[in-house]
């Protein structure tokens, strides 16, 4: 446990000019007193850790000290080679850079771990696009990706409906969702962030200067919040249904899982047969008809009445088909 913490401490100091005891304690999830003892242990072991005193002091490595990647376990080395997504790197124009980085990491590993890239590739593969969908790489993706990496603003033209509009954007991050690339960006001069589909861009011209990136921007958190908002914005109607125990179990596989969990959490007490009544948010009655049809006899639509009438007609037609 302590050995892993000491290695992490060296790597942290190796990646930054200096760190205070409080910063190290927060990263290592220990007390500042433990940081002091660990720094002393590293120094005694020959790692040149130096402590600067005073208000602006902290810990740093001196003499350009660098550690080789000899402390990795096999599982850690294999996970390292899984951290990139080959297809996504290729589409962003970073395949050569990623290949060079993998070669450098392999050269730094112990001989017993140098087959980690091969063993990882044999066991795991990420195929991001949905089934029955031909993935298409947006032509302008490499240009956008380069601007994201360099923190350069772009002048972008993109399709909005039947029209094209132009925006000055500060590109913060890229997201690959179900085979579709999105750009999370801030319109120049505004505080809010927006999401743009890369395949709708018709022109991108990077600027020459760099913009000041907001250090508090959290791409995963922003995307998670925006994705939830988008999913909820689609749910404009409600349907009241009775579900059998089997129907309740299958509901998260038929509609949005978050909506299913929320609906089931507010369900009435089960009746004598174990059926529950729930109110489910849906996109529309048309979509709800398609979704709940897949539950067959495990669901009864109670409201709205027009939707219940459609299911009644479906039942009558099915009865006619199977009457013989």
- The pLDDT score that the predictor gives to residue 296 is 92
Instruction: Round to whole Å and give the CA distance between 35 and 26.
Output: 10
Angle at 41 between CA 21 and CA 30, to 5 degrees: 40
Question: What percent of the chain stands above pLDDT 70?
Answer: 80
Q: What does the pLDDT average to over 89-111?
A: 68
- The pLDDT score that the predictor gives to residue 73 is 66
- The pLDDT score that the predictor gives to residue 299 is 95
CB-based contact 209:152 (threshold 8 Å) = yes
Instruction: Round to whole Å and give the CA distance between 267 and 279.
Output: 8
pLDDT band, very low/low/confident/very high, at 103 (cuts 50, 70, 90): low
- The pLDDT score that the predictor gives to residue 313 is 95
Sheet containing 299-303: order of strands: 276-282, 237-243, 299-303
Residues pairing with 319 in the sheet: none
Query: What is the sign, positive or negative, of the torsion defined by CA atoms of 213, 218, 220, 226?
Result: negative
CB-based contact 3:11 (threshold 8 Å) = no
- The pLDDT score that the predictor gives to residue 71 is 63
The values of phi and psi at residue 185, to 5°, are -145, 165
- The pLDDT score that the predictor gives to residue 78 is 58
How confident is the model over 22-40, as pLDDT tens digits? 899 998 889 989 999 998 8
pLDDT value at 84 more than 60:
no
pLDDT value at 303 more than 90:
yes
Run of H or E including 51: strand 49-52
Question: What percent of the chain stands above pLDDT 90?
Answer: 35
Which has the higher per-residue pLDDT, 171 or 76? 171
- The reported pTM is 0.59
| 3-class SS of residue 247 | helix
CB-based contact 84:47 (threshold 8 Å) = no
Instruction: Round to whole Å and give the CA distance between 241 and 322.
Output: 25
Indicate the range of 188-197, 239-248, 274-283 predicted with least confidence: 188-197
pLDDT band, very low/low/confident/very high, at 301 (cuts 50, 70, 90): very high
Q: What does the pLDDT average to over 114-140?
A: 72
Gyration radius of the chain over CA positions: 28
pLDDT value at 104 more than 60:
yes
Instruction: For residue 230, give every residue at least 6 positions away whose Cβ sits within 8 Å of its Cβ, in sequence order, or none.
Output: none
pLDDT band, very low/low/confident/very high, at 80 (cuts 50, 70, 90): low
Give the residue from 85, 288, 97 showing the smallest Cα distance to 177: 85
Whether the ω angle into residue 159 lies within 30 degrees of 0, i.e. cis, is no
Instruction: Round to whole Å and give the CA distance between 200 and 274.
Output: 49
pLDDT value at 170 more than 90:
yes
Whether the ω angle into residue 250 lies within 30 degrees of 0, i.e. cis, is no
How confident is the model over 174-209, as pLDDT tens digits? 998 878 899 999 988 788 899 999 999 999 999 989
Indicate the range of 51-55, 128-132, 241-245 predicted with least confidence: 128-132
- The pLDDT score that the predictor gives to residue 197 is 92
Which has the higher per-residue pLDDT, 291 or 101? 291
Q: Tokens 């129907």 belong to which residue? A: 247
pLDDT band, very low/low/confident/very high, at 11 (cuts 50, 70, 90): confident
pLDDT band, very low/low/confident/very high, at 101 (cuts 50, 70, 90): low
| 3-class SS of residue 270 | coil
The values of phi and psi at residue 127, to 5°, are -115, 100
| 3-class SS of residue 203 | strand
pLDDT band, very low/low/confident/very high, at 82 (cuts 50, 70, 90): low
Instruction: For residue 160, give every residue at least 6 positions away whose Cβ sits within 8 Å of its Cβ, in sequence order, or none.
Output: 200
- The pLDDT score that the predictor gives to residue 120 is 66
Run of H or E including 240: strand 237-243
- The pLDDT score that the predictor gives to residue 256 is 81
Run of H or E including 144: helix 141-150
């Amino acid at each position: 446990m302590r050995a892993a913490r000491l290695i992490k401490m060296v790597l942290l100091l190796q990646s930054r000019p200096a760190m205070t005891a409080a910063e190290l304690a927060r990263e290592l999830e220990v007390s500042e007193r433990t940081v002091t003892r660990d720094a002393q242990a590293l120094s005694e072991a020959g790692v040149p850790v130096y402590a600067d005193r005073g208000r602006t002091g902290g810990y740093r490595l001196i003499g350009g000290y660098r550690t080789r990647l000899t402390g990795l376990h096999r599982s850690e080395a294999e996970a390292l080679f899984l951290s990139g997504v080959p297809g996504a790197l290729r589409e962003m124009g970073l395949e050569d850079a990623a290949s060079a980085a993998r070669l450098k990491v392999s050269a730094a590993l112990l001989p017993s771990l140098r087959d980690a890239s091969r063993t990882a590739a044999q066991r795991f593969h990420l195929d991001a696009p949905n089934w029955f969908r031909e993935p298409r790489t947006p032509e302008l993706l490499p240009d956008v990706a380069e601007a994201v990496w360099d923190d350069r603003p772009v002048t972008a033209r993109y399709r909005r409906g039947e029209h094209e509009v132009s925006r000055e954007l500060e590109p913060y991050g890229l997201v690959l969702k179900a085979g579709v690339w999105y750009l999370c960006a801030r319109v120049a001069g505004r505080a809010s962030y927006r999401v743009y589909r890369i395949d709708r861009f018709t022109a991108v011209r990077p600027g020459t200067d760099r913009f000041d990136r907001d250090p508090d921007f959290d791409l995963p958190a922003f995307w998670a919040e925006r994705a939830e908002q988008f999913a909820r914005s689609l749910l404009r109607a409600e349907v009241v249904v009775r579900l059998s125990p089997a129907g309740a179990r299958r509901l998260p596989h038929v509609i949005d899982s978050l909506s299913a969990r929320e609906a089931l959490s507010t369900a009435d007490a089960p009746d004598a047969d174990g059926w529950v009544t729930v109110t489910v948010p849906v996109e529309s009655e048309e979509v709800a008809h398609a979704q709940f049809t897949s539950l067959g006899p495990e669901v009864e639509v109670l409201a709205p009445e027009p939707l219940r009438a459609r299911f009644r007609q479906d039942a009558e037609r099915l009865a006619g088909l199977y009457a013989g």
